[in-house]
Structure 1
Amino acid sequence: MKTFLRVPDEDALSALTLGAMRDAESGRYFVPPGLEIAQFKPWLPSPSQSLELEKPAQKGCSLSQMLTRVERALDTAFPRSEWVRFEISGLRPGTHAYFDAVERGADGREVSKARAIIWGSLRAKLDKKFFDATGARLENGLKVLMLAKVQFSVQHGLSLIVSDIDPDYTLGDMQAKLKRIREELEAAGIADRNRSLPAPVDFTHVAVIAPNAAAGLEDFQVEAQRLERAGLCRFRYFHAVFQGEKARDSLKQAFIDVHTYHTQQPIDALIVIRGGGATTDLQWLNEGILAKMVCRFHVPVFTGIGHERDSTILDECAHRRFGTPSKVIAHVRDLIAARANRALEDWTQICEGISLKLQAAEAAASRNRADILLRARHRLEKAEIAAVGEFGQVRTRATAHVGVTEERTAALHGMVLSRGAGRLDMAHQALGQQYGVIRERAAGAVSTVEVQAKARLETVVLASRRSIDGIDGHLHEHWLGIVAGAGKAVTQSVSLADAHMNDVTHYMRRTLREAEALAQDTFKSILAMGVEPTLRRGFALAKADGKPVSSRAAALEHDSIELTFHDGTVEVSTKGKAHHD
């Protein structure tokens, strides 16, 4: 008969060491024959327990019996610790590290899971080892390689007892993941798309994706608020989770929100910043979907993740990478300042150019004004001289014509009078001769022929008178014809003079209009020029008997002429010694 023992799990090894054996059917420990029962006293059952243990076995086996056999099988299959690859999930705080070791398929679903434990005596050591190598603490989502011993407990089931960790595997897994993402981007032909976008020439509206209330965001906002208060740039913030299992979906939604916002209110750039953290925290950003969204974004993306040496796939795809959020906002500030300085320099150059052109235009206008004024004065002087000359010529021609007409009229009148007087003399001579003949013939018969003589004399006298009257009428008619011809000539001369005067006036008016058109409104003063301004330019006005003298011949007709200057008059004698050219 077997002596069964009640051995707790924690004493199983001690009982086995003393020689206890396990019953294959019941899974209970018993004392083999030939061994001293006394040494197993701590596990000997009480009388009542002995009766219970000695009850006949029921059909089948108990759960503990089955699990005991599982435990023995696992001990045989995994006699020592082995390196196992898995992902940490469900890590809970405490002295001991309790978590789930998870394996996921390509679609991210769980393929297998087991409970894992790092006892408190090893946890600090393994945490330090991992942190020294990676700069991060053990946390959910990390893929690790750990040395673990399979342990099975009838009460608690299967557990992996971790005794060591290989940090290099975690880092290598990150690099392998980055390589796969890079290859996908290259295959899609979008790896350089955002980097190829033109760099912003200025910042007026910027979107920012950052963790809520992060330290790096606060540093960024200090400088950003200064730019906003100055009215130089607007910032629109979108918050997202940057680490942990929710980071991928949170950042994806943030990118979607920014894109929607950009379609409504266009932005100049998108800034993605994070306020520092462990190097392994960056792995949450190394997601293919996030990299593709950065590559395909319509405006340049700037990153300030918070690490100088380490980078993420987002840094590689972004238009430009900055080490920290402060450096990103410094770039924005410097570009705005540089743009403002260039604008100020351009404005200064424009003002200087305008000033130079204005000066050149003023100088050209001044030269044109002087030239126009000079030409206008010359034309006006020529017009005045031409007008005076034309008027003098017209007057001279008219005077000469009138003189000629008067001379011809006087000559004709003299000729008529001379011819009339001659005929009258001839008539008197004829009368005298007739009278002498009659007197001689009628000397003897005066009385008889006195009547005849008187009648004849009366006839002769009457005929002479009629002849004289005819001559006087003819002379009067001829005189009237001469006077009419002279009047007509005078009228024609006056009309010709008026026509010449009208031509001169029209020419002068046309000349003045041309001068006025050339000078425009600036030179209206030219139209106000008269004798006084002309005299002030060095000219003099010659007069005789109150009438202008326009020629040398006209001046010599007078004993003296009066010269009028702008400051007074001088009387000059024309009879003195003079050199006439």
Structure 2
Amino acid sequence: MTIYLNVPFAQKDHAKTLGARWDPQARKWYIPEELHAQSANFSLWLTDSPPQAANQATIPSYQQSVQASSTPSDFFAAATQQPEPVLENAYPAQLEAKGKSLAALLQQVQQVLWQQFPGAQWVVAEVSNLSERRGHLYLELSETDENGRTIANAKGMIWQKQAIYIQQKFLQETQMPLAAGQKLLMLCEIKFHAQFGLSLEIQEIDSRFSLGELAQKVRQIRARLQQEGLYARNQQVPLADDFFNIAVIAPPNAAGLGDFQADAMLLQELNLCRFHYFYSSFQGAKVESEFLAAFTAVREQHLHDPFDALVIIRGGGATLDLQQLNQYSLAQQIATLSLPVLTGIGHERDNTILDEVAHSRFDTPSKVIHFIWQQILTQASTAQQNWQNIRQTSESILYGHEKQIENLWRSVEQSSQRQIHHWRQATVLPYQQLQQQAMHRLEQDKQMLTWLQQQIMQLSTQRLSEVKQDLIVLDKQITQHSLASLRMQQQQIKDWMALILNAGPNVQIARGFAVVANQKGATVTSKAQAVCENSLTLTFKDGSLLVHVATTDNEENYESR
């Protein structure tokens, strides 16, 4: 039987603390079945309070003794009293006298817990694991000490009828769904089952505590950065007067990134500013590692292609999603960066530690690119104004110099005319004198040239006559020498011809010599050649003789015909 309660809205938290539950279908609070025995605690909201005797009748004698106790020690003392048998004939009689069954012991523990914690309790724990089965949520709760060691574990559950309500409320208030890794303040009923052990049945979650825990984490990071002297370091980095090369860290395919790039592209197409994009997750387990990798890439590229600023943008999202950016390692990277960092993470009222340590913080990515536009436009306007000032000043100075030059030119022109007139007058007489001297000198030079010409003609004529006589003598000598040489050469030729004619074979034959030839007509000049022939021809002055060659052991014999 379900016992419903008439709980005013202002008293719902009090009823929830005592253990009352909400029935979303009936839209009423009710007393859980396990708390029917303590219905007197809810008498304020009962329409008809049940009689105490009826309730007491349903409680075993050892439970009544526990209820009568007023302190925890009394509760556990009463719980250790010998209870009435829970399961008849479950154990032999001799064992009953020695001890109690495990079921009985655990049932006593259950009764003690009900008495000690009759209603729901607010519990702080961290969700180490969260799973869903058939609409029910099952949580693994834990608590760790300062060294990160686990000092307590418990199971928790949220039944289906409460799960949807609690999840929607938590999401609406924190903009983040329930997930593992969160530290929660939960209103829990302590449940103990002989088979399944201790568990916590969660009735409510206070989202304000979760937000407070995250704020405490930010305070700790801020204090550490301030202690290390890093908190305001990036704000002391001078901001460039103009932007030409900017690094951007953003999540890929983010809506805010698209808005940012739309305006940045115009600057890039106009060759006013270049943008280099480095991508990182802003949610999930890889936020820290991908962010650190992006910072490393920015630092490396900055060495050979210096940036004027680093922009970090996100563009929308849940408020608690920002908490994943509240990491000391990320803030430390920004604080130690030699570039001014501009953040536009996408919230007007909520800050992250990255916004605090950055040089400048903007609400949205659009405001960041608007600031860059304004900075470039301001510098362009300033440059244009400076150009106008320079132009006007230079034109004024140039006009003044032109006037001075014009006055100086007039002065120089007048002075030069006076000087010319003066020197013209002063140079007339010297000019006339120089002219007369030049004419006289020219006349003298002309006479000298005439005399020199005559001397040259006389000397050249005399020299030519002498050379002519010399040539005549040389001609005669050459002719005589040539004739003598010719006669001598003719005589030598005759002598050589006579010699040649006297050296011929006919001449030698006439002198008594003979010419020996073989059958082919070739002259034989040695015995060795003659031995090789069968016959030889001997030519004498008066005729030829054919001879045959005969050989013996000692010498060759010749036979003539």
Smaller-chain TM-score bracket: 0.5 to 0.7
1:164 CA displacement: 1.5
- Select the residue among 416, 439, 456 that pairs with 1:376: 416
Question: Cα distance 1:102–1:205, how it changes in 2: closer, same or farther (>3 A)?
Answer: farther
- Select the residue among 258, 274, 277 that pairs with 1:234: 274
Question: Cα distance 1:231–1:173, how it changes in 2: closer, same or farther (>3 A)?
Answer: same
Question: Cα distance 1:306–1:11, how it changes in 2: closer, same or farther (>3 A)?
Answer: closer
Question: Cα distance 1:196–1:361, how it changes in 2: closer, same or farther (>3 A)?
Answer: same
2:176–2:319 Cα contact (<8 Å) kept: yes
1:197–1:299 Cα contact (<8 Å) kept: yes
1:27–1:69 Cα contact (<8 Å) kept: no
Task: Name the larger-Rg structure.
Answer: 1
1:61 CA displacement: 9.8
1:280 CA displacement: 2.1
1-side partners of 2:85 and 2:306: how far apart? 77
Question: Cα distance 1:217–1:99, how it changes in 2: closer, same or farther (>3 A)?
Answer: farther
2:233–2:336 Cα contact (<8 Å) kept: yes
Q: How does 1:165-244 map to 2 (within 5 A)?
A: 165-244=205-284
1-side partners of 2:297 and 2:147: how far apart? 26
* Counterpart in the other structure of 1:30: 87
User: Residue type matched to 2:142 in 1?
Assistant: V
Q: How does 1:257-268 map to 2 (within 5 A)?
A: 257-268=297-308
User: Residue type matched to 1:83 in 2?
Assistant: W
2-side partners of 1:131 and 1:180: how far apart? 26
1:171 CA displacement: 2.4
The alignment partner of 1:189 has SS state of coil
1:127–1:137 Cα contact (<8 Å) kept: yes
- Select the residue among 108, 113, 122 that pairs with 1:83: 122
Mark the runs of 5 or more structure 1 residues left unpaired by the alignment: 1-9, 32-49, 399-490, 496-581
1:141–1:244 Cα contact (<8 Å) kept: no
1:135–1:278 Cα contact (<8 Å) kept: yes
2-side partners of 1:295 and 1:27: how far apart? 70
Q: How does 1:114-513 map to 2 (within 5 A)?
A: 114-388=154-428
1:162 CA displacement: 0.6
1:197 CA displacement: 1.4
Q: Deviations over 1:490-539 (max 9, x none)?
A: x9xx99xxxxxxxxxxxxxxxxxxxxxxxxxxxxxxxxxxxxxxxxxxxx
1:236 CA displacement: 1.9
Question: Cα distance 1:315–1:28, how it changes in 2: closer, same or farther (>3 A)?
Answer: farther
Q: Considering only aligned residues, what root-mean-square deviation do their CA atoms show, in Å?
A: 4.2
Question: Cα distance 1:319–1:109, how it changes in 2: closer, same or farther (>3 A)?
Answer: farther
Q: How many residues align?
A: 373
2-side partners of 1:158 and 1:239: how far apart? 46
Question: Cα distance 1:183–1:159, how it changes in 2: closer, same or farther (>3 A)?
Answer: same
Mark the runs of 5 or more structure 2 residues left unpaired by the alignment: 1-31, 37-54, 63-80, 442-561
Q: Which has the higher mean CA deviation after the structures are superposed, 111-120 or 209-218?
A: 111-120
2-side partners of 1:317 and 1:323: how far apart? 15
2-side partners of 1:216 and 1:118: how far apart? 37
2-side partners of 1:84 and 1:188: how far apart? 35
1-side partners of 2:251 and 2:83: how far apart? 59
Question: Cα distance 1:75–1:123, how it changes in 2: closer, same or farther (>3 A)?
Answer: same
1:70 CA displacement: 6.4
* Counterpart in the other structure of 2:143: 103
Bigger share in helix:
1
2-side partners of 1:117 and 1:225: how far apart? 52
Question: Cα distance 1:223–1:356, how it changes in 2: closer, same or farther (>3 A)?
Answer: same
1:25 CA displacement: 12
2:120–2:187 Cα contact (<8 Å) kept: yes
* Counterpart in the other structure of 2:509: none
1:183 CA displacement: 1.8
Q: Deviations over 1:171-199 (max 9, x none)?
A: 22223222222221221122211111111
1:245 CA displacement: 4.2
* Counterpart in the other structure of 2:459: none
User: Residue type matched to 2:121 in 1?
Assistant: E
2-side partners of 1:102 and 1:209: how far apart? 36
TM normalised by structure 2 equals 0.57
User: Residue type matched to 1:262 in 2?
Assistant: H
TM normalised by structure 1 equals 0.55
Percent identity, aligned pairs only, is 36
User: Residue type matched to 2:261 in 1?
Assistant: Q
Q: How does 1:30-69 map to 2 (within 5 A)?
A: 30=87
1:75 CA displacement: 4.9
Q: Which has the higher mean CA deviation after the structures are superposed, 127-136 or 277-286?
A: 127-136
2:330–2:354 Cα contact (<8 Å) kept: yes
Q: How does 1:538-553 map to 2 (within 5 A)?
A: none
1:216 CA displacement: 1.6
